Structure 1
Amino acid sequence: MTTMRFEDEFRGIRRRSLLGLAAGGLMLPAFPLAAAVSAFRITMVLGRGESDNERGFKDYLARHGLKVDYIIRDTGGDPARLPAIVEEIKDTRPDLVYSFGTPQTRGIVGPYDDADPRRHVTDIPVVFTFVAAPVDAKIVPDLGRPGRNVTGTIHIAPIAVQLNTILAYRPIRRMGIVYNPQERNSVLTVEGLRAEMALRGLELVEEPVPLNDRGEPVAAAVPDALARVAARGAEVLYIGPDTFIAFHNRFVVAAEALRLRLPTFSATELIVRTDKAMLALASSAYGIGRFTAFKAAQILIDRTDPADIPVETLKRFSVIINMATVRALEYYPPIGLLNFAEIIES
């Protein structure tokens, strides 16, 4: 099954499933799916409120005729809230759990080699989204066959492809990153960048955000960390899939980088579309939400075990350029890149 054909595949899934339901078949005893459902119940566990990702997810299911009652739970980025949410999921037993981001997903399902049924959700289907490295984060052991009650979607392009995009814009020797060392997603991204850049003879300038006494990243320290990256000779600032940097502090990061005349590349689209980051290589959050919903539909309608549903990313990524920032920096892209990039004027 390819990501490019998920619309056609869904129509086939729904047709087969409705025929099977009429014949009384297609039961999957491992999960709590009723033979006749007036409305499916989905618990959505978020970390930063509803976004285009969730809108895409809901729209896809609605447009394909699924009636869904949603229960929304938001950690607000605080992992201490997850145990209570997990207990609620265990008590209410929804038909499906939708999980946004690595911290939420890890907290819900646990690592694949140490999941505890007393503390994690192990017998209800879970679909995740916006998880950059699900194997490294130990959410699934294998992308092709997750082998547990979890599947989902990856939202970023491979690191090698991201670097190709940066170098297509302008050759560089040194790239900087400011990141939250407490966010596993971010640490894994740094490790991936470090390895890929070493292969290319490039240098990664790393600046973890300082932590307070409670082990939390200090937002007020972000501008100084950015200044250190610039002072150490970074030619571009890399903004990874880091909730603390690319979401909660995105305005400060983009504005301060612009003040420092430091071009920015983001692995996700939001900071380029809504703030003043310069360049991104990304799939749309709405499209990723729809693709995640396609996988949910395989579980809910076709009764496919998530253990057998591959974890995938969309194959199409857009180069997004904020021309207002380009002009402010006087850091112009080559014509060849402009020919197929999405241009934002903000």
Structure 2
Amino acid sequence: MTIATKRRSVRVGTLALTLHLLAFSLVAVAQPTGKVHRIGFLRYFACPDQFGFKDLRQRLGELGYIEGRNIVIECRAAPGKWEELPALAAELVRLNLDVLVTEGTPASLVAKQATRLVPVIMVYVGDPVASGLVSSLGRPGGNVTGVSMNANEIVRKDIELLKEIAPGISRVAVWMDSTNPSHLPAFAAMEATADRLKVRLQRVEVRTATDLDGGFAATLRHRAEAVAVYPLSTMPVDIKRIAEFAIKNRLPTVTNTAAYVKEGLLAGYGPNVPDQYHRAAIYIDRVLKGARPAELPVEEPMKLDLVINGRTAKALGLALPQSILLRAVEVVE
């Protein structure tokens, strides 16, 4: 072998080694560290419920976090039993979490009370400033940040939607739970819009499934012509009961929770569910890489969806305006 040939072989070998090391370094940068991160999830819905959960897992996977490989997700939930949330939050905090995801205002408040050290990423929260979760949207200031529903604006749109569906209505029963810190500010915002539309709102307190019969009676007693349903501490079967009651009594229904439309309520307008949980996953990624929640601004909804239940519309004998059907991202049949 000539000297020139040897030199070429050395150069080729060196280049191959350099490319190999470069490729290895790029893979290392693209992947999260070898540590197994422990993520807590304090839910509003039941843990097996795929509402939002599958979207959170999907986006985490796209970011390189795979359950059983480099993350463990510890889920706790008490659907219909908010009084159990403090004990569940304390249980999760004892697991030495790297981050805690919370679903809804009550769960988020409980988590904030349970820990000042574990980063908390909230999702599906009505008004995080008014409820005391953060100091401001731009600078949360504590260990809590995440995604807001901007509920006060959404409920204004909900009552406008209800009036568009049924222009003749003048009395609307609002099913709500005033122990949920986001409900009273939302009701005030909805009432301001209702006054403009010449609609009278009537509060109906429904905290758990045991209050449903009383809610039905109150709605009939107030001679409501439609029903608005805020997020409640109930199970899907309870929402089906509300939908059946409304259909039986020819009452159009509206909500800001898309899952309720799937259970039979007529119309829902609110944040795009996958988007809320995809963005929560991005917060998780940033926190696991060292970002401080106090310095991560709270984000408001970027995507808002209108969902219509076509079966319910038919059962109510409603011919929905074409303008509504064209705006709907989904019509459940």
- Report the TM-score, using the length of structure 1 for normalisation: 0.76
Is 2:43 aligned against 1:56?
no
Q: Deviations over 1:182-205 (max 9, x none)?
A: 333334433332333235443102
Distance change in 2, residues 1:137/1:197 (3 Å): same
Write the distance in 1 (CA, Å) between the matches of 2:140 and 2:319: 43
Residue 56 of structure 1, CA deviation: 0.9
Question: Where does residue 99 of structure 1 map in the other structure?
Answer: 102
Secondary structure of the structure 1 residue equivalent to 2:52: helix
2:246 match: 257
Contact between 1:176 and 1:238, CA under 8 Å: does it hold in 2? yes
Matched residue, 1:152? 146
1:90 to partner: Cα distance: 4.3
Q: Within 2, Cα distance between the matches of 1:328 and 1:90?
A: 47
Larger-Rg structure: 2
Instruction: State the match for 1:340 in structure 2.
Output: 327
* One-letter amino acid of the counterpart of residue 239, structure 1: V
* 1:69 to 2:72 alignment: yes
Unmatched segments (≥5 aa) in structure 1: 1-17, 23-34, 111-119, 210-216
Q: Distance in 1 between matches of 2:204 and 2:83?
A: 26
Which whole-Å CA distance do the structure 1 matches of 2:211 and 2:117 have between them? 42
- Contact kept, 8 Å, 2:40 with 2:101, in 1: the verdict is yes
Kindly state the Cα deviation for residue 253 of structure 1 after the two structures are TM-superposed: 0.7
| Equivalent residue letter for 2:133 | I
Query: Are the equivalent residues in 1 in contact too, given 2:267–2:307 (CA < 8 A)?
Result: yes
Alpha carbons of 1:327 and 1:75: their partners in 2 closer, same or farther (altered >3 Å)? closer
Alignment of 1:26-175 (within 5 A): 36-50=33-47, 51-66=50-65, 67-110=70-113, 120-155=114-149, 156=151, 158-171=154-167, 172-175=169-172
1:323 to 307, 310, 324: 310
**Quick check: 1:272 aligned with 2:261?**
yes
User: 1:94/1:271 Cα in 2 relative to 1: closer, same or farther (>3 Å)?
Assistant: same
Taking a change above 3 Å as real, the CA distance of residues 308 and 162 of structure 1, as seen in their structure-2 partners, is farther
Report the CA distance shift for 1:44/1:261 in structure 2 as closer, same or farther (over 3 A): same
Q: In the alignment, is the contact (CA less than 8 A) between 1:255 and 1:276 conserved in 2?
A: yes
1-structure distance, mates of 2:92, 2:260: 32
Residues 140-149 or 178-187, more deviating = 178-187
The equivalent of 2:281 in structure 1 is 293
Question: 1:339–1:77: structure 2 CA closer, same or farther, 3 Å change rule?
Answer: closer
1:228 aligns with 2:222: no
Is the deviation greater in 150-159 or in 249-258?
150-159
Answer yes or no: is the 8 Å Cα contact 2:51–2:259 preserved in 1.
no
Alignment CA distance shift 1:343-1:227 (3 Å): farther
SS at match of 1:147: coil
Give the C-alpha shift of residue 298 in structure 1.
2.0
Q: Shift of residue 101 of structure 1?
A: 1.7
Structure 1: which amino acid aligns with 2:224? A
By how many angstroms is 1:122 displaced? 0.6
Q: Distance in 1 between matches of 2:299 and 2:229?
A: 22
Report how far residue 284 of structure 1 moved: 3.6
C-alpha distance 248-183 of structure 1, shift in aligned 2 (>3 A) = farther
Match of 2:270 in 1: 282
Report SS of the residue matched to 1:176: strand
Distance 1:198 1:64, change over 3 A: same
Structure number with higher relative contact order (C-alpha < 8 Å, ≥ 6 residues apart): 1
Cα distance change of structure 1 residues 180 and 170 upon mapping to structure 2, 3 Å threshold: same
- Unpaired stretches in structure 2, ≥5 consecutive residues: 1-24
Q: Secondary structure at the match of 1:69?
A: strand
| Residues 208 and 225, structure 1, Cα contact 8 Å, conserved in 2 | yes
Supply the distance in 2 between the matched residues of 1:250 and 1:163 (Cα, whole angstroms). Answer: 19
Aligned length: 297
Structure 1 contact 41–94 (Cα < 8 Å) conserved = yes
- Residue 79 to residue 261, structure 1, CA distance change in 2 (3 Å): closer
The 1:324/1:102 distance shift into structure 2, 3 A limit, reads same
Query: What residue number does 2:195 align with?
Result: 198
Paired letter, 1:287? D
CA separation of 1:259 and 1:307: change in aligned 2, threshold 3 A: same
Is the alpha carbon distance of 1:229 and 1:126 closer, same or farther for their aligned partners in structure 2, counting shifts above 3 Å?
same
User: What TM-score, normalized by structure 2, do the two folds share?
Assistant: 0.79
Deviation at 1:317, TM superposition (A): 1.4
Q: Confirm or deny: 8 A CA contact 1:127 1:296 kept in the other structure.
A: yes
Q: What is the RMSD of the two structures over their aligned residues, measured on CA atoms?
A: 2.7
Give the CA deviation at 1:251: 1.2
Instruction: Give the SS at the match of 1:313.
Output: coil
- Name the SS of the counterpart of 1:92 in structure 2: coil
Task: Quote the residue 2:230 is aligned against.
Answer: 240
Distance 1:294 1:328, change over 3 A: same
Residues 230 and 262 of structure 1 are in contact (CA less than 8 Å); yes or no, is this contact kept in structure 2?
no
Fraction of identical pairs, as percent: 22
Report the Cα offset of residue 106 of structure 1.
Answer: 0.8
